[in-house]
Structure 1
Amino acid sequence: MAVPVAQPATVSLRACLALLALGVGARLVLALGTDIYFDEAYYWQWARHLAWGYYDHPPLIAWLIAAVGVRPAALLCGVGTVAAVWGLARDVHGSREAAWRAAALWSVVPAGTMAGVWATPDSPLLLFWALALWALWRERWVLAGLASGLALLSKYPGVLLAVAFLATAVRMRRLPAGAWVTALLGAGLFLPVVLWNAQREWVGFAFQLRHGLGGTGGLASFAEFLGGQLALGGPVLLPLTLVYAVRGPREQFLLRAAAVVPLLFFGYAALRTRGEANWPAAAYVAACVGVAGMRPVWFRAATLSGLAIILAVGSHLLFPLLRFERDVPLARTHGWSVLSALAEPERLFPGTDARSVAVVYAPSYQLASQAVRYAGVTADTAGGGRMSQYDLWPRPEVARGQDALWYSEGREPPEELTARFTTVEGPVELPADFRGRRVHTFLVWRLRDAR
């Protein structure tokens, strides 16, 4: 049975515009009211070393940050995705009213809001996924190839849109000749990333396979995945997505496949490893278009539940009232500016000559990137943390007699590092507060006189 279509006058244009305004306002306030968090700082580091690939992801987010800046890259991609969803829904439903409903719904999907505020590979992925899906729907094969290639240059899961298209071709028993143009263009744009990986023992592909399908999973990690989708997709939008995928109109099979393929793939991955809730975010692009054609009561429920999550989380990030033992969202988005003190080691360790400090070491790529972003120092990782782009870049040189700093949130400098220096001083505490909350307690050690 097909999903019932809403009457155009039932959900007013004024209500949709209000939701769009709230979505844009929330993005701007969060972008201006939070610190650059560590993943953004990491991609900003990439933007200072432009290449065709990086250890973790393809390069497009780095190129965008280099062109327009960190938060502008996310905001522009977010606005572009809303516009692409509007255009896709207009063509799918043949109705401007449905287009406004779809755009309004997407503007309050928590996963889409995150990608429209904080610059990650999801930001361009969602934009070019939506554009590619729109072009495939209209059978504009050249545009589809360009958008698909840019989606792949954003994030490797962009290939899942090709899976959805092939599933549609099998279902409809039709593979248009123009689809080969799309495939060739998309593959051509992605080819430099393949060559970059080939020259580096396929490190990017191997990492993503281990990260996405390796490790220890099971029912517990799947339950975490499901909880993440209820939060980032929405407690109403997620079940509606599944309903649309199973019972949506036959002629919308491409969109139904584009909604369900990412959820199925990453749901399976969650049984293999502990993943991230944002991984299937692209599924909700097609879902919003589909829900725009459902009964108005479901559209209202989906938009209001998504908006409630955005307002609740956003207000907590800006004006926290509740206290949590481990407030991860608050720690990710505040308190990083105190790291500017790493640029002035004489304040932390009196008598230190700042010119003698060659490098700041940290146990992770996140902390190393934040040191570069907020202190403008040379930074590197040490201590056997997860491999990252820092392991592919040349290691900073520390000449004999020079000093270094080590900072972390509780972890002492590893022996492999301290053995390279004559003495170790510290730690000195570097606390970070936000609105009366202690969000970080950084500890800094001075490593003196390199051997």
Structure 2
Amino acid sequence: MQMLTKIPKQFYYFLAVIFILNLLQSSFTQLIFDEAYYWYYSQNMAWGYFDHPPMVALLVKISSFFFNGELGVRFMSCILSAVNIILLWLMIDNPKKNDYIKHFFVLVFSMTLLNAYGFFTLPDTPLLFFTSCFLLTYKHFIKNPTWGLAIIMGVFMAALMYSKYHAVLVIFFVLLSNLKLTTSKYAWLAVIVALCCYVPHFYWLYENDFVSIKYHLYERPNGAYSFEKYTLGFFVNLVAIFGLTFPFVYKALFKTKGNDLFNKALIYLTYGVLIFFFVSSFNRRVQTQWIIIVCIPVIVIAFNYMLNNKQALTWIFRLGLVNTVLIIYLRIGLAYQPLLFNFYYESHGNKEWAKAIEDEVGDIPVVFENSYRNAPMYAFYTNGTPTFSLNNFMYRKNQYSINDAEEQVRGKDVAYVSKYLNNPTFTYTRESGGLYKGKYISNFQSYRKLDCIIENDEVTLNTDEPLTLKVYNPYKEDIDLKKLKFAITYMDDYKHPLETLRIHPKTTQNTITRLKKQDTTVFKFQLPKTKKENIGYFRVVISENDLLYGLNGKPISVK
């Protein structure tokens, strides 16, 4: 508390302006799709979700206690971003800093994505905040380790991991910068506290068959390596996160030496994350937000460098002001699309298309084919209308694959929205160019949780050997086999579908006509012959009631 009272009033004036700006932005900007998805998380709080740990859902839930609408999703992000700026300021020890408050705020505000996460509610929002909490605690810990600081640091380590799995990089590279921590009883206490706090999420992962880990490590679709899209794209991201100030920001990083343990931690964290994702760029496209975590240590490094280098101070301030003007323009454009001329971002028009579909279908549930984005967005802007994302073999699994959303629409009369419809009953075209095609289905029945299990890790392509298929029915009702069609989807090395061929599995008992509820039925089948080349995987898929085939089996490698 004493540290806060030493902060000049001018600092709080700048902070208040940014906080109010973020509140206004939050109120007048429609949700982006990921925010709607995380709002959907928050409607059923849990210790984990398909794609991410639960911290982002908790932020949305807390925000909803204070406000409705968009601000009811983003309020806590505005709070965290304001506090985060204070934490960053407290990490800087230079006695000259109080004379350069406006320079500090220009540096912070000019960082593009850090600016956006001042109001957007995404997993990176708490990740950035708890990184600052962790680093500031670590700064005090290395000066005077105590049991109390160890416990606090352990809590922040757990909070980091509850925010996003990438947080493991923060913890690892800070540890790597000071290997003597491995012999510190206080550091080990911090680790034990973190693990104890994280037990609920570990248990959730166990209960859900480690679905998040499997998806991120093994099942996430990828593409063939492209230097332009992957590695060159990574370097473009390095520029994008800092905008016009990037030459001087990186110069500050290169010039800064790890003369003490805290600066060494900042340097290791920055270089470690950048090198990790540079190497990753040879395997997959690195998204810009994946490297945003380096903004936290770089702000401290760059501002300390500015205070000791007049040229850097002048140029970062000037270029930062240009960044700031551009960012304010773009932020207004997020809320008011005509300012961006013909450019439509995902924060534009969502309320309008949701209302148009609602006017057409009324208050009946809506099933969106292959869209964990549209389903929650529609639910948000229609005050919680039941929705479901029916994921087929051309898409990927998501939160709708593991929760009870399917049960909320089963047996109901629904509006079915899919780009694959040939004869839609109704259509709606978004101003951005997206087309929604829909029809009505009475007594909607889907069984997307049917689990097809093949215990082979690898199978020979075009083999004549029969394979064993186990189908687990998790539902509380028997399922008539006549309602189901089985097929094999062949995929390339990057798990993109190439061909889907029908199969006719046989049971050992020809009298079996139904999949027994919450039971496993064993079949035999042969892989259908294919002339497709470059096949890397196959999966068993099921179509129920003539819907498009689902994602029922895991990818099996072929040779």
TM-score exceeds 0.5: yes
1:80-106: per-residue Cα shift (whole Å, max 9, x none)? 2111111112xx435542884545522
Q: CA deviation at 1:259?
A: 2.1
Matched, 1:364 2:364: no
C-alpha change, 1:48 and 1:173, in structure 2 (3 Å) is closer
Paired-residue identity, %: 20
Paired residue for 1:197, among 205, 208, 217?
Answer: 205
- Give the residue type in structure 2 aligned to 1:223: L
Name the structure 1 match of 2:138: 136
2:94 is equivalent to residue 80 of structure 1: no
Q: Give the counterpart letter for 1:396 in structure 2.
A: E
Map of 2:553 onto structure 1: none
Of 344, 348, 352, the match for 2:360: 348
Aligned equivalents of 2:410, 2:169: Cα separation in 1: 48
Q: How far 1:276 sits from its partner (Å)?
A: 1.4
Q: Which has the higher contact order (CA 8 A, sep 6+)?
A: 1
| Aligned AA (2:368) | Y
Q: What secondary structure is seen at the aligned counterpart in 2 of 1:439?
A: coil
- Any conservation in 2 of the 1:64–1:73 contact (CA below 8 Å)? yes
Structure 1 residue 174, shift from structure 2 partner: 7.9
Question: Does residue 42 of structure 1 match 2:37?
Answer: yes
1:257 corresponds to: 268
Distance change in 2, residues 1:255/1:399 (3 Å): closer
CA distance in 2, matches of 1:319, 1:383: 31
Say yes or no: does 1:407 pair with 2:424: no
Does the Cα contact within 8 Å between 1:316 and 1:322 map onto a contact in 2?
yes
Provide closer, same or farther for how the CA distance between residues 373 and 440 of structure 1 changes in structure 2, counting only shifts above 3 A: farther
Matched, 1:229 2:238: yes
Distance 1:365 1:145 in 2: 34
Q: Which of 421, 446, 449 does residue 439 from structure 2 map onto?
A: 446
> 1:379: Cα distance to partner?
0.9
Is the contact made by 1:85 and 1:130 (CA closer than 8 Å) also made in structure 2? yes
Q: Distance in 2 between matches of 1:321 and 1:64?
A: 30
Q: Distance in 2 between matches of 1:138 and 1:102?
A: 22
1:33 shift after superposition: 2.4
CA change 1:99–1:144 in 2 (3 A) is farther
Distance in structure 1 (CA, Å) of the matches to 2:346 and 2:170: 31
Q: How many angstroms apart in 2 are the aligned matches of 1:45 and 1:173? A: 40
- Match among 388, 393, 416 for residue 398 of structure 2: 388
**One of 380, 402, 408 as aligned partner of 1:373:** 380
Is 1:279 the counterpart of 2:284? The answer is no
**2:456 is matched with which residue?**
none
3-state SS, counterpart of residue 243 of structure 2: coil
Q: TM (normalized to structure 2)? A: 0.66
Partners of 2:321 and 2:154 in 1: how far apart? Answer: 35
Tell me if structure 1 keeps the 8 A contact 2:256–2:301: no
Q: SS in structure 2 opposite 1:156?
A: coil
- Whole-Å separation in 2 of the counterparts to 1:49 and 1:173: 39
* 1:248 equivalent in structure 2: 257
Structure that is richer in helix per residue: 1
Whichever residue aligns with residue 43 of structure 1, its letter is Y
1:338: which partner in 2? 352
CA distance in 1, matches of 2:272, 2:221: 16
Q: What is the one-letter code of the residue matched to 1:389? A: Q
* Other structure's SS at 1:264 match: helix
In the alignment, is residue 268 of structure 1 matched against residue 279 of structure 2? yes
Compute the displacement of 1:156 (Å): 0.7
Instruction: Provide the rounded CA distance (Å) in 1 between the counterparts of 2:85 and 2:129.
Output: 8
Q: Name the CA shift for 1:55/1:174 in 2 (closer, same or farther; >3 Å).
A: closer
Q: 2:125 aligns with which of 123, 126, 129?
A: 123
The alpha-carbon distance between structure 1 residues 313 and 239, as it changes in their structure 2 partners (threshold 3 A), is: same
> Conserved in 2, the CA contact under 8 Å of 1:405 and 1:445?
yes
1:316 paired to 2:333: yes
Q: Which consecutive unaligned segments of at least 5 residues does structure 1 have? A: 1-12, 415-423, 432-437
Distance change in 2, residues 1:341/1:240 (3 Å): closer
Provide the rounded CA distance (Å) in 1 between the counterparts of 2:410 and 2:18: 51
Q: Secondary structure at the match of 1:275?
A: coil
Contact 2:428 2:437 in 1 (8 A): yes
- Separation in structure 1 between the aligned mates of residue 156 and residue 236 of structure 2, nearest angstrom: 31
* Aligned 8 A contact 1:124 1:154 in 2: yes
Is contact 1:245-1:260 (8 Å) kept? Answer: no
Give the Cα–Cα distance (whole angstroms) in 2 for the partners of residues 246 and 270 of structure 1: 26
C-alpha contact 2:106 2:324 (8 A) present in aligned 1: no
* Residue matched to 2:540: none
Q: CA deviation at 1:429?
A: 1.9
Please report how far the alpha carbon of residue 30 of structure 1 lies from its aligned counterpart in structure 2 after TM superposition.
Answer: 2.5
Partners of 1:339 and 1:370 within 8 A in 2: no
**Partner of residue 194, structure 2:** 186
The offset of 1:404, in angstroms, is: 1.8
Which amino acid in the other structure matches residue 427 of structure 1?
Answer: F
Given the superposition, is the C-alpha separation of residues 15 and 159 from structure 1 closer, same or farther in structure 2, using an over 3 Å criterion?
A: same
SS of aligned partner of 1:360: strand
Separation of aligned partners in 2, 1:380 and 1:85:
41
Contact 2:253 / 2:298 at 8 angstroms: preserved in 1?
yes
- CA distance change for structure 1 residues 439 and 218 in 2, over 3 Å: closer, same or farther? closer
Q: Secondary structure at the match of 2:432?
A: strand
Equivalent pair of 1:60/1:154 in contact (CA under 8 Å): yes
Query: What is the SS of the residue equivalent to 1:250?
Result: coil
Aligned to 1:393, the other structure's residue is in SS state coil
Which residue number corresponds to residue 170 of structure 2?
161
Question: How many pairs are equivalent?
Answer: 407
